[in-house]
Amino acid sequence: MIEIKMGEVFDEIKDRDVDVLIIGAGPAGLTAGMYAGRAGLKTVILEKETIGGQLSLTDWIEDYPGFPDGIKAGELINLMKKHAENFGAKIVREEAKKIEVLDGGLKKVITGSGEWKAKAVIVATGAHHRKLGVKGELELMGRGVSNCAVCDGPFFKEKDIVVVGGGDSAVTEAIYLTRFAKKVYIVHRRDQFRAQKIYVERAKNNPKIEFILDTVVTEIKGEHKVEGVVLKNVKTGEIKELSCSAVFVFVGLIPNSDILKGIAKLDDRNAVITNEKMETEVPGIYAVGDVRSTALRQAVTAASDGAIAAMVAESYIAENF
């Protein structure tokens, strides 16, 4: 996909006016861009960070339809980008900071370098990793504390690694980390996992993985880099220390919904509440993917959200402009 540096404007999109402005270039945003572009709408996707969203932080995808043997996450992202490009959607490297609704139903999106006007806005801002909130976590972030196994796993060859969490991300990333680590400990606060059974079974059958259940991390130790963790058994209260060189934290996601606070209704997790058409309470503003209040957060459901929002936006624009 064509990527435009911050502040540049397309010749065919004068005065930064578009039909559909999509905020976020993860699976939801890229799919929305593909469908909106295919509908003949002038479509721009704003992305402030990494194209692919949370998908870019993983290595292997094996549950996306059409790829029975699995696919590299980076390859799937590139295919999504190319598909959107084929239908005219373009990415601009800007951070959306505020959305305003103008007279007549147009929306103004203010960025770090100016503003855009759009007939419809699709918010696909995704989510970010929840913190443990323990001593040493922020101080040692980037020095052994990480939320990205693909990014940082290779730095810890033949080292002991702690993975915190019990969902799909925690278990699959722990399995990935065994490519490098000497030992991987999965620390989970319960004795049951939220992760899919197939992933848990693979982890149990991996000789490099050891489970530490009913346990939480209360401190990450180290002066200049991670040297270990303090663990507490939530049932017995027992405290013990475990030496390790890295801590990978996968304890949930927090929706990046700040741009819609005061505009759309949020649930108790700050996820955006929409109807089945991805519509917020404001006509012409939609929320899709991990930022939306939904029962399942997967690449395939994010893509579905994006497709729905784009098609609903097309009808909205045809009826109102």
What is the full DSSP assignment across 228-264?
EEEEEETTT--EEEEE-SEEEE-S-EEE--GGGBTTB
* List 59, 148, 160, 214, catalytic entry: 148
Active site residue 152: yes
Choice between 128 and 1, residue whose per-residue pLDDT is larger: 128
**Residues 106/119, Cβ–Cβ less than 8 Å:** yes
* Tokens found for residue 124: 């696909």
Catalytic residue among 151, 191, 258, 267: 151
Q: Are the C-beta atoms of 180 and 157 separated by less than 8 Å?
A: yes
- The 10s digit of each residue's pLDDT in 61-119 is 888 999 999 999 999 999 999 999 999 999 999 999 999 999 999 999 999 889 999 99
Q: What is the mean pLDDT of the chain?
A: 93
pTM, 2 dp: 0.84
Statement: residue 189 has pLDDT above 90:
yes
- Percentage of the chain lying above the pLDDT 70 cut: 95
Whether the per-residue pLDDT at 141 is higher than 60: the answer is yes
How crowded is residue 294: how many other Cβ atoms within 10 Å of its Cβ?
20
Q: Is 113 helix (H, G, I), strand (E, B) or coil?
A: coil
pLDDT per position as a tens digit, 59-74: 888 889 999 999 999 9
Q: What pLDDT, on the 0 to 100 scale, is given for residue 225?
A: 96
The per-residue pLDDT for 318 is 97
Number of other residues whose CB lies within 10 A of the CB of residue 268: 6
pLDDT of residue 14: 54
DSSP codes, 168-202: HHHHHHHHHHTTT-SEEEEE-SSSS-SS-HHHHHH
Q: Is the CA virtual torsion 249, 144, 230, 179 positive or negative?
A: positive
Q: What is the reported pLDDT for 10?
A: 47
Q: Which is it for the CA torsion 316, 280, 167, 227, positive or negative?
A: positive
Please tell me the predicted confidence (pLDDT) of residue 15. Answer: 62
The per-residue pLDDT for 308 is 98
- Across 148-176, average pLDDT: 94
What percent of the chain shows pLDDT beyond 90?
A: 87
Task: Given the residues 152, 168, 290, 305, select the one marked as catalytic.
Answer: 152
Pairing type for strands 107-111 and 96-101 reads antiparallel
Model confidence band, residue 273 (pLDDT cutoffs 50, 70, 90): very high
More confident residue, 50 or 96: 96
Looking at residue 106, its pLDDT comes to: 95
Q: What is the pLDDT of residue 56?
A: 87
Domains and CATH numbers, the chain: 3-128+253-320 (3.50.50.60), 131-249 (3.50.50.60)
One-letter amino acid of 248: F
Q: How confident is the model at residue 319 (pLDDT cuts 50, 70, 90)?
A: very high
For residue 11, the model assigns a pLDDT of 45
Please give the structure tokens belonging to residue 168. 């799909």
| Beta strands 285-287 and 71-72, pairing class | unpaired
pLDDT classification of 201: cutoffs 50, 70, 90: very high
CA 68, chain centre distance (Å) = 23
43 sits in the region (left: phi over 0; alpha: psi -120 to 50; else beta) called beta
Longest dimension (CA), the chain: 66
Residues 33-45 have pLDDT tens digits of 999 999 999 999 9
DSSP-H helix ranges across 51-119: 73-86
User: In this predicted structure, what is the pLDDT of residue 58?
Assistant: 83
The lowest-confidence range among 3-7, 15-19, 131-135, 211-215 is: 3-7
Burial 103-134 (b: 16+ CB within 10 A, else e): eeebbbbebeeeebebbbbbbbbbbebeebeb
pLDDT, position 6: 39
Q: 64: closest CA among 51, 79, 50, 53?
A: 79
